[in-house]
Amino acid sequence: MILTVMICTSLMISLVAFGTYVVKTNGIVKHPTKHTPRKYIPRKHTRKTSSAQILLNLHNRVRNKNHPLKLDADMNAKAQWWAEMMAKDQNFTHSQMNYAENIAKGHRSEQHVFNEWMKSWGHKNNIIRESHTHAGFGVARDAEGKLWWCAIFR
């Protein structure tokens, strides 16, 4: 029994009932190596969602459904600028912008930084405060690869 799944026009993956697979790319057949886990289906790792959108979705999951945050392009640009400045200067400090602000450094993903913010009363309060209607998010990588995060709210 063979199940064929069409991923896109140039990549076809055939799954064989025994749990192995054959990948055909542009007519070239590749078999799994002994180091490849069984039932692993390789796929492209393209990111279609921005960090800002991922963070907005995480924030809105914990907010009152009647008061979701809206992403603001100008606030996004300001948060991104501040994340880049902190990373460049290696200076972990709040900005002087007139917004409620959450900052963090060293967290490896949107989910991780969000989880850490939710553990802090002050950061959590910025996230769930119903009077906040708009948000902007920024993330920057420093020369050592560490991520610096900024979220601003109004």
pLDDT in tens, 91-149: 999 999 999 999 999 999 999 999 999 999 999 999 999 999 999 999 999 999 999 99
Residue of 121, 126, 123, 122 whose CA lies nearest to 113: 123
Give one DSSP letter per residue of the chain, joined into a string: -EEEEEEETTEEEEEETTS-EEEEETTEEE---TTSPTT---------S-HHHHHHHHHHHHS-TTS--EE-HHHHHHHHHHHHHHHHHT------SSSEEEEEES--SHHHHHHHHHTSHHHHHHHH-TT--EEEEEEEE-TTS-EEEEEEE-
Confidence of residue 48 (pLDDT cuts 50, 70, 90): low
138: tokens are 């920024």
Q: Is the pTM of this model over 0.85?
A: no
